[in-house]
Amino acid sequence: MSLIQLNNICKFYSMGDQTVKALDHINLTIKQNDYVAFIGSSGSGKSTMMNILGCLDQPTEGEYLLNDKNVSLLSQNELADIRNQEIGFIFQSFNLLPRADALHNVMLPLVYKGVSLEKRKKLATQALEKVNLSDRMDHIPSQLSGGQRQRVAIARALVTSPSILLADEPTGNLDSQTTRDIMQLFDELHQEGQTIIMVTHEDEIAEHCHRVIRLSDGQIIEDYVNEKEVALV
């Protein structure tokens, strides 16, 4: 089933008397339980793609359907609702509240959904257990390693049961072994049925995913299935 449909998506910026084509007529379908990497160098359009897919920005032209809903025409408040309901964000810099423990960091998105305190604690605890951090729930970010902080961020993204996990350079601040551990966690989440979209500039991270989409100058220049990773499932 199609989860995301991009039809002729463009994102143009004016810089003086020049027009920068950050995304230039993109047509793309992403299905439920896809495990996709967008890869490209600086200026390729991958960050703009993440912002469009994550409903953080709107296209200049074209149509973005998410779960058959045209989100490219929604108001800012409606986009905020879609982000809270449909998308779990994971960032390179973790974006955790420094004075809140892991449990309360993970609970935060549920506050905006109006979930009761008791249920927030239950769901956040379950999310931390899923990422193997049940013994670190009362630790603040400064008491956690980089890998543990990213696991908290992943738990926070999962706690609302989103349609999509959208990860922006999720291993960029991690060492090699921790990177392998985090990618293994993404593999496990995908095997459980989670749709994952990853933005990266690293070939080794992109090749870990099942589908690789390479961007250059705002256009898709390559879109292929990683047969090696698919065969491992």
**Tally of domains within the chain:** 1
* 29: in domain: no
Per residue in 183-230, pLDDT tens? 999 999 999 999 999 999 888 889 889 999 999 999 999 999 987 655
User: Is 179 a member of any domain?
Assistant: yes
3-class state of residue 158 by DSSP: helix
What does the chain come to in residues?
233
Q: Is 164 left (phi over 0), alpha (psi -120 to 50) or beta?
A: beta
Q: Is residue 17 part of a domain?
A: no
Q: Taking the model in full, what pTM does it have?
A: 0.91
- Residues 6 or more apart whose Cβ sits within 8 Å of residue 16: none
- Looking at residue 231, what is its pLDDT? 47
pLDDT value at residue 24:
95
Render pLDDT for 207-220 as a digit per residue (tens, 0 to 9): 889 999 999 999 99
| Domain-embedded: residue 122 | yes
Whether residue 217 lies inside any domain: the answer is yes
Q: Do the domain assignments include residue 98? A: yes
Q: For 14-48, what is each residue's pLDDT tens digit? A: 888 888 899 999 999 999 999 999 999 988 999 99
Domain carrying residue 198: 34-58+75-232
Domain-embedded: residue 169 = yes
Residue 157 is part of a domain; what is its CATH number?
A: 3.40.50.300
- To which H or E segment does residue 184 belong? helix 176-191
Terminal Cα-to-Cα distance of the chain (whole angstroms) = 19
The partner residues of 211 in beta bridges, in order of sequence, read 36, 225
Asked if residue 150 is part of any domain, the answer here is yes
Residue with the two structure tokens 């810089």: 15
